Amino acid sequence: MSIIPKKFLALLILMFVTKISVNGQLEEWCIADEQTPDNELQVALDWACGQGGADCSMIQKGQVCYYPNTVRDHASYAFNSYFQKYRKKGGSCFFNNAAMVTQVDPSHNSCHYEYLP
């Protein structure tokens, strides 16, 4: 029985976990930080969906990203919408330290989180 070297195994796992886009850049999404309290997320969510210009239509009641109906899930969707729309124009995934970048696609069920290369 052969043993797979640890370095090879780690590289193999990384290949399955990390997505690379067509142009060779890592795919990135912006989501709510798990450590941020809901009241802070709500303030950032309100900004993102308001003057921030994020497309929050899919997190409205009756839409595919409404559930789970939590501040954290709705904030993640809104943060990512803003991030994808404005990151090439200087926008960030900061939201007063309420968000973080991930390379794991946060899409779930029929709720698709946009990624723009």
Domain membership flag for residue 74: yes
What pLDDT, on a 0 to 100 scale, did the predictor assign at position 22?
53
pLDDT in tens, the chain (117 residues): 456 565 554 544 544 555 555 567 799 999 999 999 999 999 999 999 999 999 999 999 999 999 999 999 999 999 999 999 999 999 999 999 999 999 999 999 999 999 999
H or E element in which residue 49 lies = helix 38-49
Domain membership flag for residue 15: no
Domain membership flag for residue 9: no
Domain membership flag for residue 97: yes
Q: Give the count of domains, the chain.
A: 1
Q: Among 88, 62, 94, which Cα is nearest to 75's?
A: 94
What pLDDT, on a 0 to 100 scale, did the predictor assign at position 25?
77
Region of 35 please: left (phi>0), alpha (psi -120 to 50) or beta.
alpha
What's the token pair of residue 62? 């009756």
What pLDDT, on a 0 to 100 scale, did the predictor assign at position 7?
53
